[in-house]
Amino acid sequence: MTIQKKILDLSYIPIQVSNSSSCPYITNKVETRAFINLSDYPEAHDQLAEIGFRRVENWAYKPICSNCNQCIPIRVNCKKFVPNKNQKRCIKTKLVRNILPSIAKQEHYELFKKYQKERHTDGLMSKMSWDNYTDMINLTPINSMIFEYRNEQKKLLGVILIDIQRDGLSAVYSFYDNKIKKISIGKYMIIDSINFVKDNKLKYLYLGYYIKNNEKMNYKNQFYPNETFSKGKWK
């Protein structure tokens, strides 16, 4: 099925286009997005995700920037995933994973603020208030959940917001304690999510957009085998 046919299948859904704004990922680039209100069409989410859309709150969006196609949707084939040596070392430390409903918690927000301050000082998310954070977590018209990770002393180390799809899971957003260097917590959470997909007989973990020229986004290509969405096909 071509990308044109896939979009035609969704043609009953109103698609809006954002105003152009400064790209948050690549310096001196301008970003434009197509977006759909999922509150009215939650049943379309999985099909949209399978053609490269992402979710934020009750919106599905996809970059449609002129003269730029560096935001490439990427997903891991979890059934075939085998960790490399570095990833095997990462998961030797066992953290406790708790599965929670997608409801904002103050403890999580405090870790989120700390993470933004240390990793994304100049980003828009660093300015998010408690109300903004609550919207990010609570406003979901589909099935979503939270994975939180704690050590043996029950200290909160990481959180990842997860969407449940018909063919796997989608990692919407994650944050963690950046000062703990003995454990690569961000990597640990991805590997654990891959294993969760595998254990539940699903196939894919969607990781959002891989951006080769952005150091904070190109780590997603480290998990093999993976597939990228280009010209209407996953390859």
Residue finishing a domain among 19, 44, 69: 69
CA distance 15 to 73: 19
Task: Answer for the pair 204, 211: CB distance below 8 angstroms, yes or no.
Answer: no
Most confident of the ranges 60-69, 105-114, 172-181: 105-114
Residue finishing a domain among 69, 100, 121: 69
The amino acid sitting at 113 is: K
- Please indicate, yes or no, whether residues 32 and 143 belong to a single structural domain of this protein: no
What pLDDT score does 9 carry?
A: 58
- The maximal CA–CA distance of the chain, rounded, in angstroms, is 52
131 — pLDDT class (breaks 50, 70, 90) = very high
Confidence check: pLDDT of 226 > 70? yes
- Please indicate, yes or no, whether residues 199 and 87 belong to a single structural domain of this protein: yes
- Please indicate, yes or no, whether residues 144 and 211 belong to a single structural domain of this protein: yes
- Please indicate, yes or no, whether residues 111 and 199 belong to a single structural domain of this protein: yes
4 — pLDDT class (breaks 50, 70, 90) = very low
Where b means 16+ CB within 10 Å and e means fewer, 19-38 reads eeeebeebeeeebebebbeb
- Please indicate, yes or no, whether residues 80 and 157 belong to a single structural domain of this protein: yes
Alpha carbon dihedral 20, 26, 27, 31, in 10-degree steps, equals 0
CA 96 to chain CA centroid, Å, is: 21
Residue with tokens 């927000």: 109
The better pLDDT of the pair 121, 103 is held by 103
Residue with tokens 């929670």: 100
Q: What are the structure tokens assigned to 15, written together?
A: 């698609």
Number of domains in the chain: 2
The better pLDDT of the pair 7, 28 is held by 28
- Please indicate, yes or no, whether residues 166 and 199 belong to a single structural domain of this protein: yes
Query: What's the order of all strands across the beta sheet hosting 168-176?
Result: 96-101, 144-150, 156-165, 168-176, 204-210, 72-77, 226-230, 233-234
- Please indicate, yes or no, whether residues 58 and 107 belong to a single structural domain of this protein: no
- Please indicate, yes or no, whether residues 23 and 110 belong to a single structural domain of this protein: no
Rg (CA), the chain: 17
Nearest C-alpha neighbor of 101 from the set 142, 144, 51, 149: 144
- What is the sign of the dihedral through the CA atoms of 60, 213, 30 and 72? negative
What integer is the mean pLDDT of 120-141? 89
Q: Which segment of 119-128, 213-222, 224-233 scores lowest on mean pLDDT?
A: 119-128
Confidence check: pLDDT of 117 > 80? yes
What integer is the mean pLDDT of 200-219? 92
CA distance 224 to 83: 8
CB atoms within 10 A of CB 195: 16
What integer is the mean pLDDT of 81-97? 93
Residue with tokens 């096909």: 233
- Please indicate, yes or no, whether residues 148 and 169 belong to a single structural domain of this protein: yes
Question: Is the entire prediction scored with pTM above 0.85?
Answer: yes
CA distance 19 to 51: 22
- Please indicate, yes or no, whether residues 107 and 169 belong to a single structural domain of this protein: yes
Percent of the chain residues past pLDDT 70, beyond the cut: 94
Residue finishing a domain among 13, 36, 69: 69
Write out the residue range of the structural domain in which residue 124 sits. 75-234
135 — pLDDT class (breaks 50, 70, 90) = very high
Average pLDDT, the chain: 92
Q: Which segment of 11-15, 23-27, 56-60 scores lowest on mean pLDDT?
A: 11-15
CATH number at residue 190: 3.40.630.30
- Please indicate, yes or no, whether residues 112 and 225 belong to a single structural domain of this protein: yes
CB atoms within 10 A of CB 55: 25
The amino acid sitting at 55 is: R
